[in-house]
C-alpha cells in the first residue's frame, strides 16, 4: 500500500491570488520560527523568520503570522506568481543561545500556481 | 558570492561501500549541519558541529560519521552500517550568536545505493 508520508498537503492557487500556508507546531517552548521554500532538486531557501515575542512580521510579498495560543504559524504570499510554486516548510527551534541543534521541520506543503 | 557547496549533486554506490559527501561553505559560519530528506518527509538532523574539532549527534546519527577539521568543511560519511542510505542529503550552516539565526542550505546530494 501507499505510505501516507509520501503525499504532501497541496495548495493550488490561481496566479495573482493570495496564498496562505499553515503550520501547526508542537512545542510551546519554541521561541523562533522559520519558513523555507524548496524547489525541486534544490536545497531549502530561507524566506522569513519570526521570534516568539512577535505575532506578525512582513517581508517582500510575504507575511508570517504567529499564534502562540493555538501553536499555529502561517505564511501569506501576496499576488502569487508561477515562480512561487515549490514546497514550503515551517521550522521551530527550542534551542537556546543560537543553537540550531533543536530545529524541528514540518513535512511541508506543496504550492502549485496555475497560470 | 558566498554560499554552501555540496558535491557531487548525484552519487551512486553499491551496497556495502562507504561513501563521503562533501560540504564546503565560505560564509564564515561557525555552525554546520547535515540533514537527511526522504520523499514527503521533513528534514531530519544527522550531525551538527558548532566549532572546529567538535560535533554532536542529531536524531538519526547511526550509520553516519562526520569530521570538522576546518571551519569551512564538514564532510559526511555514509557507512555500510546505515540500513537505508538512499536519500537526499542536505548540508547547512549558520552563525552562532545570542539570538537565533536561520540555516543556509546547500543544494543537496542525492545518494542512491543499490
Among residues A39, A26, A42, A21, which one has the least CA distance to residue A105?
A26
**B18–chain A nearest CA distance, Å:** 24
Joined together, the cell numbers standing for residue B46 give 544527522
pLDDT at site B97: 65
| A1 class by beta-carbon count within 10 Å (0-12 exposed, 13-18 middle, 19+ buried) | exposed
Contact B47, B59 (CB under 8 A): no
Q: How far apart are CA B104 and CA B113, in angstroms?
A: 27
Residue in chain A nearest B49 by alpha carbon: A101
Interface of B with A (CB under 8 A): 4, 6, 31, 33, 38-45, 48, 50, 56, 58, 90, 92, 94-108, 110
Q: How far apart are CA A49 and CA B56, in angstroms?
A: 25
- Looking at per-residue confidence, does A28 or B2 come out higher? A28
Of the pLDDT bands very low, low, confident and very high (cuts 50, 70, 90), residue B8 is: very high
Residue in chain B nearest A9 by alpha carbon: B40
pLDDT at B48 over 70: yes
Among residues A49, A51, A72, A71, which one has the least CA distance to residue A62?
A49
CB atoms within 10 A of CB B103: 27
Non-local (6+) Cβ contacts of A79 within 8 A are: A16, A17, A18, A61
Query: Mean pLDDT for chain B?
Result: 92
pLDDT at site B96: 78
Of the pLDDT bands very low, low, confident and very high (cuts 50, 70, 90), residue A5 is: very low
What pLDDT, in 10s, does the model give residues A70-104?
Answer: 999 999 999 999 999 999 999 998 765 444 557 88
Joined together, the cell numbers standing for residue B32 give 554546520
Among residues B9, B40, B34, which one has the least CA distance to residue B111?
B9
| B60 class by beta-carbon count within 10 Å (0-12 exposed, 13-18 middle, 19+ buried) | middle
- Looking at per-residue confidence, does A103 or A55 come out higher? A55
What pLDDT, in 10s, does the model give residues A7-42?
Answer: 678 999 999 999 999 999 888 888 899 999 999 989
Average pLDDT for B76-93: 95
Residue numbers in A near B6 (CB within 8 A)? 43
pLDDT at B21 over 90: yes
Amino acid at each position: 500500500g501507499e505510505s501516507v508520508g509520501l503525499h504532501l498537503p497541496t495548495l493550488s492557487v490561481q496566479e495573482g491570488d493570495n496564498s496562505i500556508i499553515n503550520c501547526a507546531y508542537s512545542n510551546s517552548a519554541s521561541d523562533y520560527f522559520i519558513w523555507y521554500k524548496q524547489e525541486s532538486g534544490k536545497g531549502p531557501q530561507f524566506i522569513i523568520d519570526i521570534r516568539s515575542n512577535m505575532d506578525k512580521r512582513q517581508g517582500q510579498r510575504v507575511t508570517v503570522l504567529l499564534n502562540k495560543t493555538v501553536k499555529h504559524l502561517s505564511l501569506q504570499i501576496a499576488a502569487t506568481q508561477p515562480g512561487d510554486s515549490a514546497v514550503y516548510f515551517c521550522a521551530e527551534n527550542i534551542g537556546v543561545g543560537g543553537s540550531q541543534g533543536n530545529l524541528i521541520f514540518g513535512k511541508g506543503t506543496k504550492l502549485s500556481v496555475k497560470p | 558570492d558566498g554560499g554552501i557547496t555540496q558535491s557531487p549533486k548525484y552519487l551512486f554506490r553499491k551496497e556495502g561501500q562507504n561513501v563521503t559527501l562533501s560540504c564546503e561553505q565560505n560564509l564564515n559560519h561557525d555552525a554546520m549541519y547535515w540533514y537527511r530528506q526522504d520523499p514527503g518527509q521533513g528534514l531530519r538532523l544527522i550531525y551538527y558541529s558548532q566549532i572546529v574539532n567538535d560535533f554532536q549527534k542529531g536524531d538519526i546519527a547511526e550509520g553516519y560519521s562526520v569530521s570538522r577539521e576546518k571551519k569551512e568543511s564538514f564532510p559526511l560519511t555514509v557507512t555500510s552500517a546505515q540500513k537505508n542510505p538512499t536519500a537526499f542529503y542536505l548540508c547547512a550552516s549558520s552563525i552562532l550568536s545570542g539570538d537565533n539565526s536561520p540555516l543556509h542550505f546547500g543544494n543537496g546530494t542525492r545518494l542512491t545505493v543499490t
